[in-house]
Structure formats: C-alpha cells, structure tokens
C-alpha cells in the first residue's frame, strides 16, 4: 500500500515551511505544480516548478477565483490508479496523475478576526482549495493530502523510508483534511450567522480545532480533548500557560468559570478576585488592590479555597501572588502578570499560571452548547451585566447607598453560581455562598451555615451575614427563602421578582424592615 510520489500539487496561502518542504520533495525527484503565489515562492528559491496554468491551458482568472478548478487538476487527483476506465480517461485527455496535494486555505478565520469588511471576507472564502482537499482525501487510497505545515515532516519521513506514502498515513491525513474543510465551512456559516445577527435561533455549525488531547475527562475512565472554537474571546482556550503541569479537564472547566466571573468586574473600576471550586465561586471580592481583594475572597470560605482556582481581573502583582502561593492552589489565571509576580509563582512548580492577554467582554454575544441524549441544546450566552440593571425598589424602605453597592455586587456574583443560588455579601465581598441546591431555602441556609463556619475559622464573634445583603439568582417562590435570609442577618435583598407570590414576599420583607429591589433579570445557571 505504498504509493510513490511522482507529482505534487502545492497551493498554500500560509507559506510557512514551504521552501524546505519543496526542496526535499525535489530532492526525492518529485515534480512540483503550483498556483501563482506558491509557484513564485518555490521558483524564487531556485527550484523547478510548473505553473498550474501550464497544466490547465487556462490562465488564473477572475481575480484568482478560478485557478485550479479544472479537469486536468481534479482528474489527476480523483483518478483511481487501479481502475482501467479511469486510466483510459487519463490517457485520452492527457491528464497527469497527482499523488500529493498540499493545500492550506485562504485565511478566512484570520480575515474575520481582523474585522475585515464584508466584501473582503467573502473574497477570502476559498473554493478551489477545499475542492482539491476533498478530492484528494476521497481518493486517499492513491493520493496523500496535507492541509497544514505540521504534517510536512511525516510525509517526507515516509518518502525517505519507503519511497512513498503508506495507507495508514494517507487515511490519517484524509481524516484531518475533512476535519479542516468542515471547520472551514463552519467558520463561514457562523460568520454569516453573526452578520445576520441571528444568534440563538439560527442553525450554527460547531467546529473546533484541537488544542490538545487531555489525559482524561471529568473522571479517569472518560476520554477527553480540548478544542478551540471560532469565537474570539480571551480565556482559558487562548491563554498562554507560563508554568505548571498540563491542565486537566476539570481545571479547564473551573478556570473558565473563574475567569468569566472575574471579567464581570471592569478593571478600570476595581480590582477583583474570584476563587472557584468545582465550577462554583467559593469567594469573590473587590478591593483597592488584588492583594486586598484576594484576602477578602479567601475569608469567605478558606476551607473550600484549598486546591481552588484563582482568577484576577488585573495584572497579577507580586504582593497578591505572594499571598496566593501560601495555600495550595491549582491554577491562577490573569490577563497579565508582572515579572516579579511570575517569579513568585515560579517557586511553586506545580501551580499553573495562565495569562490571557485580556478580559472577555461580559456583554458580548456568543453561544453556549450542552449535549443531551441525541441532541444539542444551544442558547445565547447570559450576557446581561449588573451594570445595566434597572433596579426597582419594591419595599417601603429603599436600600442605603452602601447596601445598593453590595446588592449589585452580590447579583453580579449570583450570575456565576449554579442555581439555586443565594449569595450573602458585605463590603464588596461574598460572605456566604449557597450553590446548586434543589430548594432555594436550602441554599439560603447553607450559605448562612458556611458564613458561621468562616466566622469561627476567623475567630469572629458573629457571622459576617449579620448586616449583609442577599442576592437570589431567581425569584423567591415563597417567603420562606427570604425569611431564612432575614434570620441570617441580611438587611437588603436583590432578586429578579416575577413570582405569583411576590406580594407575600414583599410583605415579609417589609415586616422585617428589609429593603428589596427587583432586577427583572434572572440568572439561572444549571
């Protein structure tokens, strides 16, 4: 199943590694055929190369839209070598077989990323390239197809060792080729969907480029891999890992949760820190500095913070890094870090440090995807920001300025905690987080219980929920959840409102002297 390589067609937009690859092919006696720019690059290196127009008898035309779309090219790629009829067609039409197709496509994704205008983006949709790739991959029994420079070496190694390519390599390359054309078309379709502003309702193609295979998934018996999507958003998928061992599936999931949460806090307004454990925040705080914010976030639940993931919204500095390395932490993720902070983290060999180069825009659109048996559930991101809330006071007492600041803070955090969520906050720090309970009352009680534990650990006389504010991700269906918060010492409440029993809940709040505001926005997160 070795197929010698006599003739190769090279047509690449990204010319990385092209000349050394072409040089090696020529050394192995391979005849090269190329499109305009690729042929020029090869000829400039002093190598023999035939222009594709020589093969087709047609010039490249229509601004390059038609260069390789011709039977002389596609016949040479698709002909089955062992088929007598195909051989006869080759002979009849004087078509030379092509044994190796090397194509990388017009940079459509990069064109979108640099926000080119509509016309230019359209022009960067490659037609001839995918056609050759798909043809060569279909005919992988006879033809090898290479869609990225990373595979040049493997092809050369086989030619050197066997005088041609082996079937297993050609099959692997064919698989990769279709992954590439599928991802390419998905990127085009998704760009159209965004241009048409049809977010959730439009059918979206899903595609990803493999970042790396992971050791395992959520549990050791599950396989896993990490893929980059075509969404342009700084985060764990695009981050630079400065140090530490490979991220695990759970690390990636938790780091994402932490970083998306911390991005809710605009760095020009405040320093903020989020500590995450099992995809839920166990401490969130704002402060005058990251160091201060970290201390406040840690105080919320120092027990859970052990082995957690820390996200910060500003450049990580040495003072905060020094505080962070005091306990065992899995990951620190930051937009950036000072050299001094990087040096502090370096002392902890296993601690992973990720730098993203920026914060994602919490108001940006985009989709979330969840698989269900036999289907995909797709929705627009929850991009409602606490900065845009139109708060409505529903109680006799209006919140004080201080309460109001904490209420906004608490609701900002509630968005990033699994439902049912109850958040107690005081002085721009969470003091009790109740997450993921089936009943809202339980969340309120658990959050209060955790605040008691934290107070005990810190040697305080009373829990920090005394005089706190409370946020609920969704309305209180009954007054009981609210009463649990009153019992814990909350003085003000923020919640979406909209329950059939809002009046009961408001009456209970008034009776307890609470101030309550409705957001009209719900933050379910399941």
Smallest CA-to-CA distance from 408 within 236, 231, 265 is with 265
The Cα–Cα gap between 514 and 517 comes to 10
Task: Give the nearest distance from C-beta 149 to ligand 93A in angstroms.
Answer: 13
| Nearer CB in complex with ligand 93A: 12/311 | 12
138: Cα within 13 Å, side-chain hemisphere:
14
Task: Give the nearest distance from C-beta 207 to ligand 93A in angstroms.
Answer: 18
Task: Give the nearest distance from C-beta 341 to ligand 93A in angstroms.
Answer: 42
| Nearer CB in complex with ligand 93A: 126/158 | 126
Task: Give the nearest distance from C-beta 10 to ligand 93A in angstroms.
Answer: 8
| Nearer CB in complex with ligand 93A: 130/287 | 130
Smallest CA-to-CA distance from 320 within 296, 354, 349, 304 is with 296
Q: For residue 121, what are the CA distances in angstroms to 90, 186, 298, 521?
A: 37, 14, 47, 37
The Cα–Cα gap between 145 and 131 comes to 12
Helix (H) or strand (E) holding 114: none
Task: Cite the active site residues.
Answer: 138, 278
DSSP helix/strand/coil, 430? strand
> Residue for token digits 């962070």?
324
| Nearer CB in complex with ligand 93A: 125/515 | 125
The Cα–Cα gap between 389 and 267 comes to 19
Tokens of 371: 């698989």
Binding site for ligand 93A (CB under 6 A): 11-13, 35-38, 64-69, 103-106, 126-129
The Cα–Cα gap between 312 and 267 comes to 9
| Nearer CB in complex with ligand 93A: 40/162 | 40
DSSP helix/strand/coil, 497? coil
Q: Are 12 and 34 a contacting pair, CB within 8 Å?
A: no
Task: Give the nearest distance from C-beta 517 to ligand 93A in angstroms.
Answer: 56
Q: Are 350 and 244 a contacting pair, CB within 8 Å?
A: yes
| Nearer CB in complex with ligand 93A: 127/157 | 127
Task: Give the nearest distance from C-beta 186 to ligand 93A in angstroms.
Answer: 17
Crossing angle of helices 128-138 and 71-78, rounded to 10°? 20
The Cα–Cα gap between 108 and 125 comes to 6
Tokens of 39: 């042929």
Task: Give the nearest distance from C-beta 225 to ligand 93A in angstroms.
Answer: 27
Task: Give the nearest distance from C-beta 132 to ligand 93A in angstroms.
Answer: 7
| Nearer CB in complex with ligand 93A: 12/354 | 12
149: number of Cβ within 10 Å: 17
Burial (CB < 10 A; 0-12, 13-18, 19+), residue 102, is buried
Task: Give the nearest distance from C-beta 168 to ligand 93A in angstroms.
Answer: 26
The Cα–Cα gap between 279 and 254 comes to 5
Tokens of 314: 């500003």
| Nearer CB in complex with ligand 93A: 128/287 | 128
| Nearer CB in complex with ligand 93A: 64/366 | 64
Smallest CA-to-CA distance from 232 within 354, 332, 334, 109 is with 109
Specify the DSSP class assigned to residue 386.
G
Q: Are 344 and 320 a contacting pair, CB within 8 Å?
A: no
Task: Give the nearest distance from C-beta 89 to ligand 93A in angstroms.
Answer: 21
How close are the terminal C-alpha atoms of the chain, in Å? 51
Q: For residue 521, what are the CA distances in angstroms to 196, 313, 382, 385, 497?
A: 26, 24, 10, 10, 8
Helix (H) or strand (E) holding 255: helix 249-262
| Nearer CB in complex with ligand 93A: 26/237 | 26
Burial (CB < 10 A; 0-12, 13-18, 19+), residue 376, is exposed
């Amino acid at each position: 199943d070795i197929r010698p390589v006599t003739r190769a067609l090279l047509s690449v937009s990204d010319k990385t590694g092209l000349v050394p690859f072409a040089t090696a092919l020529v050394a192995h006696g391979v005849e090269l055929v190329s499109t305009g720019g690729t042929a020029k690059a090869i000829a400039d290196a002093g190598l023999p190369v035939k222009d594709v127009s020589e093969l087709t008898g047609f010039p490249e035309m229509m601004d390059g839209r038609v260069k390789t779309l011709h039977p002389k090219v596609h016949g040479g790629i698709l002909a089955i070598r062992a088929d007598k009829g195909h051989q006869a067609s080759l002979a009849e039409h004087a078509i030379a077989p092509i044994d190796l197709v090397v194509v990388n496509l017009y940079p459509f994704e990069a064109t979108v990323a640099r926000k080119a205008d509509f016309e230019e983006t359209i022009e960067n949709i490659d037609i001839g390239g995918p056609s050759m790739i798909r043809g060569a991959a279909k005919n992988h029994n006879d033809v090898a197809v290479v869609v990225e420079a990373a595979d040049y070496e493997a092809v050369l190694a086989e030619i050197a060792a066997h005088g041609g390519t082996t079937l297993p390599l050609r099959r692997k390359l064919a698989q990769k080729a279709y992954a590439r054309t599928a991802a390419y078309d998905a990127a085009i379709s998704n760009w159209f969907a965004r241009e048409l502003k049809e977010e959730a309702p439009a059918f979206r193609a899903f595609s990803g480029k493999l970042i790396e295979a992971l050791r395992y998934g959520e549990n050791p018996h599950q396989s896993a891999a990490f893929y980059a999507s075509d969404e342009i958003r700084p985060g764990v998928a695009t981050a630079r890992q400065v140090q530490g061992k490979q991220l695990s599936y759970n690390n990636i999931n938790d780091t994402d949760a932490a970083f998306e949460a911390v991005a809710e806090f605009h760095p020009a307004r405040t320093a903020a820190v989020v500590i995450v454990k099992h995809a839920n925040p166990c401490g969130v705080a704002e402060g005058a500095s990251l160091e201060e914010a970290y201390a406040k976030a840690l105080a919320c639940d120092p027990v859970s913070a052990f082995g957690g993931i820390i996200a910060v919204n500003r450049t990580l500095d040495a003072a905060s890094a020094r505080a962070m390395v005091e306990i065992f932490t899995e990951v620190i993720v930051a937009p950036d870090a000072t050299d001094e902070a990087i040096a502090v983290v370096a002392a902890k060999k296993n601690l992973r440090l990720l730098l993203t180069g920026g914060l994602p825009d919490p108001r940006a659109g985009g989709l979330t995807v969840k698989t269900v048996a036999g289907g995909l559930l797709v929705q627009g991101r929850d991009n409602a920001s606490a900065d845009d809330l139109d708060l409505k006071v529903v109680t006799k007492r209006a919140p004080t300025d201080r309460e109001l600041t904490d209420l906004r803070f608490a609701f900002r955090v509630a968005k990033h905690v699994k439902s049912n969520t109850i958040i107690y906050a005081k002085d721009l720090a969470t003091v009790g987080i109740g997450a993921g309970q089936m009943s809202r009352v339980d969340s309120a009680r658990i959050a209060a219980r955790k605040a008691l534990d934290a107070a005990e650990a810190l040697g305080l006389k009373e829990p920090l929920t005394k005089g706190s504010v409370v946020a609920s991700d969704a309305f209180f269906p009954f007054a009981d959840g609210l009463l649990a918060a009153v019992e814990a010492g909350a003085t003000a409440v923020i919640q979406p409102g909209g329950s059939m029993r809002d009046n009961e809940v408001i009456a209970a709040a008034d009776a307890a002297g609470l101030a309550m505001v409705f957001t009209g926005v719900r933050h379910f997160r399941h």
